[in-house]
Homo-oligomer: A and B are copies of this chain.
């Protein structure tokens, strides 16, 4: 089921809240409680949760433990998606060190770069290879997600290489708008665009 992006972005908020409840031993939660905690309209929460295969009980609401499981499963966090990172510079190297991603279903298994001084090394137990070795590694690893953290002028080239190698989704951290075949999923996360929005709002106060 292809979900609307706004719902998909709200579900992790609910999950974060419900996980907290679970860890404090709470057994049931109502959509109204979730709504208050996450600052989302109650009818919207109910609508979002209706997308899941779980139903609340009258008066008591949803069973917290089941809701956590259903949400994690639904969001794909319980499956392990193999990924690689192109560009082991400051941001790429940083993401390699973020072991939090693995808990959310993203397993980075390889890094690629062209800088001789880091090729052959490991970061956080993950090997760094030369970009020229991508196809070879891809044959062994069958990575489904490619993360791009190269300089902007190399972003398109890397995307093309990944797509040729059979990667199904690209997570683009550069501010460059890459173009790929429409059956490839592209997720843009430009931290700099978020900075621009934040600076603008801040300076207008």
Report whether A8 and B196 are in contact in the complex, using a CB–CB cutoff of 8 Å: yes
CB contact under 8 A between A200 and B97, given known A76-B195, A174-B16: no
> What class of interface size applies to chain A in its complex with B?
35 or more
Report whether A199 and B20 are in contact in the complex, using a CB–CB cutoff of 8 Å: no
- By a CB distance below 8 angstroms, the chain B residues around A171 are 194, 198
Q: Which of A53-61, A98-106, A157-165 contacts B (4 or more CB under 8 A)?
A: A98-106
Which of B19, B81, B145, B194 lies in contact with A187, CB distance below 8 A?
B194
Report whether B89 and A94 are in contact in the complex, using a CB–CB cutoff of 8 Å: no
The CA-CA distance from A171 to B193 in the complex, in Å, is 12
The CA-CA distance from A201 to B177 in the complex, in Å, is 19
Report whether A9 and B195 are in contact in the complex, using a CB–CB cutoff of 8 Å: no
Residues of A99-149 at the interface with B, using a CB-CB cut-off of 8 Å, are 99-101, 104-106, 144-145
CB contact under 8 A between A196 and B12, given known A1-B204, A201-B169: yes
Report whether A205 and B77 are in contact in the complex, using a CB–CB cutoff of 8 Å: no
- By a CB distance below 8 angstroms, the chain B residues around A187 are 194, 197-198, 201
Which of B23, B94, B205 lies in contact with A168, CB distance below 8 A?
B205
Report whether B104 and A93 are in contact in the complex, using a CB–CB cutoff of 8 Å: no
Instruction: Give the distance to chain B from A185, nearest Cβ to Cβ, in Å.
Output: 4
The CA-CA distance from A205 to B94 in the complex, in Å, is 30
Is A30 positioned at the interface, with any CB of B under 8 Å from its CB? no
Is A52 positioned at the interface, with any CB of B under 8 Å from its CB? no
Report whether B90 and A168 are in contact in the complex, using a CB–CB cutoff of 8 Å: no
The CA-CA distance from A97 to B17 in the complex, in Å, is 29
Report whether B205 and A185 are in contact in the complex, using a CB–CB cutoff of 8 Å: yes
Which of B93, B106, B177 lies in contact with A40, CB distance below 8 A?
B177
Of all chain B residues, the one with the shortest Cβ separation from A196 is B75
Instruction: Give the distance to chain B from A177, nearest Cβ to Cβ, in Å.
Output: 4
- By a CB distance below 8 angstroms, the chain B residues around A3 are 200
Can you give 5 contacting A-B residue pairs, CB < 8 Å? A2-B200, A37-B177, A76-B202, A94-B97, A185-B202
